[in-house]
Amino acid sequence: MLSGWQLKVSKFFIIPQRVILAIFGFLAILNAYTMRICLSIAITEMVNKTTSVEEDEGVCPIDDNANMEDFTGGEFNWDQELQGVILSSFYWGYVITHLPGGILAEKFGGKWTLSLGILSTAFFTLITPWAVGIGGSTALIIIRVLMGLGEGTTFPALSALLASWIPLKERSKLGSLVFGGGQVGTILGNLISGYLLHSFDGWSSVFYFFGGMGVVWFILFTLLCYSDPQSHPFISDKEKDFLQKELGALTRDKTLPPTPWRYILTSVPMIALVCAQIGHDWGFFIMVTDLPKYMSDVLRFSIKDNGLYSSLPYLVMWIVSLSTGVLSDWLISSGKMSITFGRKLFTTIASAGPAFFIVGASYAGCDRVLVVALFTIAMGLMGTFYPGMKVNPLDLSPNYAGSLMAVTNGIGAITGIIAPYVVGIMTPNHSLEEWRIVFWISFAVFHVTNLAYVMWASGEVQPWNTPHLMNKSVESGDVNQDTFSEKETPAAIKASH
């Protein structure tokens, strides 16, 4: 029962605490993405482009009414390959801290693992202009690696928090809300960056603004959010009772054995999930990191228009992710489709749709309206990844969701290292023909990885979610971990689902 002051404070919150946590989780990813991708717009104004203002073969003409100063860029003479290294350097650090982040979140709770990671990213974002002024591209690469180290804990920590707070019947809806912060962060990162670069001299304002927003989020989150319902000082008794009934427990199970890595890494549904994550991240990182460069270098949008039109696809993606999250929950809870079928269906839509429309955009030539429309449809369809494979770690293992998200997101993030560098190597002349090859490669990656997911994915809780209750034959490796029948599956595993 709540004490006097706790009861008084709880009355100020009309919104349930699990929804407040989901909102702050959404804002966490939003802040993480704005700090991550603002460089993609800013770099178009940091790099000197005077050598490419003249009409080049394979590049669209500049609008007659455009301000030519928008196409001269800044003071740094960084070639396309170096720009690819700079844009990919964030992911060098990002990959490293996924696994430690997941383990720490499961052991100590997600609150501080998440918040301190975002705070460190905000700090390095704030000092970016100072570092670049002193050390140029080398300093920028180091700063971006350090930012990645801080931000790598974000998704594993959030998965651990969601597993502790969100009931199954609300998982697709609230999970899509939280993970949809990536699209909104991309929208605001592109849109606000374009506005700031257009309105203020220099490019420093972008980093000061988004770094400051990250610090504000950290303060509010640490005051209002907690790792699990039991540790929350002013959650209502009514919500506690509801979560006790739906989740079966209000605290993390501290008696669980260490993470069963052997079973996780050899699980067929887990391997399928990693494949889907690779496909999603390849396409998403190509768009997030390099779409502003495509808009600037090939389509010749002004910096203000670049921010606007680069953000539009993610607005549609966000709307789609939220609406299909609600649709997925309804279809599953009403018994119209199974969890497994739902995850596969929405993941397939999110793979096949973008693959076709991104390639189509490369054949639209310099028809700017058609290109933006095709990119917008492509990214909109990609929004169905979130009620698809993105919440799948919570299905497979609520107890080890942080570690699963760390593995899937960490391996997927390797594409963030490879993709921008590949784009830099393959588009030295930033022409339409060069970019078309990039988009065809994305087409192939989307389809191959989705095929693996459709064949082997699962939405059911796996036996290794409770390794201490698994059959001894499975513990000894005599029986395949994915072949439990309904009769053999321990009751505790069913209850956790």
- In this prediction, residue 490 carries a pLDDT of 35
Query: Do 259-461 and 15-54+70-237 fall under one CATH topology?
Result: yes
Mean pLDDT computed over 462-475: 67
- In this prediction, residue 476 carries a pLDDT of 43
Q: Hey, is 235 helix, strand or coil?
A: coil
Query: Which residue did the predictor score with more confidence, 479 or 415?
Result: 415
**Which tokens go with 415?**
């594409």
Look at the chain and count its residues: 497
CA geometry: angle 319, 175, 104, nearest 5 deg: 140
Query: Which residue did the predictor score with more confidence, 369 or 9?
Result: 369
Tracing tokens 């549609």 back to the chain, one arrives at: 316
In tens, the pLDDT along 343-386 reads 999 999 999 999 999 999 889 888 888 888 998 899 899 989 88
Residue 264 has pLDDT above 60, yes or no: yes
- In this prediction, residue 424 carries a pLDDT of 81
Q: What is the C-alpha to C-alpha distance for residues 307 and 311, in angstroms, rounded to an integer?
A: 6
Residue 57 has pLDDT above 70, yes or no: no
Percentage of the chain beyond pLDDT 70 is 84
Q: Are 350 and 382 in contact (CB under 8 A)?
A: yes
Q: What's domain 15-54+70-237's architecture?
A: Up-down Bundle (1.20)
Identify the band that residue 409 occupies on the pLDDT scale cut at 50, 70 and 90: confident
Q: Are 347 and 382 in contact (CB under 8 A)?
A: no
Where along the chain do its domains lie? 15-54+70-237, 259-461
pTM of the model: 0.73
Q: Are 325 and 462 in contact (CB under 8 A)?
A: no
Select the highest-mean-pLDDT range: 166-175, 306-315, 333-342, 480-489.
333-342
- In this prediction, residue 497 carries a pLDDT of 35
Q: Are 215 and 122 in contact (CB under 8 A)?
A: yes
In tens, the pLDDT along 70-113 reads 555 667 888 878 888 898 899 899 989 988 888 888 788 889 99
Q: Which residues pair with 73 in a beta bridge?
A: 48
- In this prediction, residue 255 carries a pLDDT of 67
User: What distance lies between CA 130 and its chain's CA centroid?
Assistant: 28
- In this prediction, residue 420 carries a pLDDT of 80
Q: In the CATH hierarchy, which top-level class contains the domain 259-461?
A: mainly alpha
Helices (H), 109-233: 110-126, 128-151, 154-165, 171-179, 181-199, 204-224
Cβ-defined contacts of 198-204 (< 8 Å, 24+)? 198/302, 198/303, 198/304, 198/307, 203/42, 203/45, 203/46, 203/74, 203/129, 204/129
- In this prediction, residue 74 carries a pLDDT of 67
* Averaged pLDDT of the chain: 82
In tens, the pLDDT along 159-218 reads 888 888 888 778 778 887 888 888 789 888 888 988 898 888 888 999 999 999 999 999
Mean pLDDT computed over 458-465: 90
Q: Are 393 and 273 in contact (CB under 8 A)?
A: yes
Residue 286: closest CA among 386, 301, 278, 345 = 278
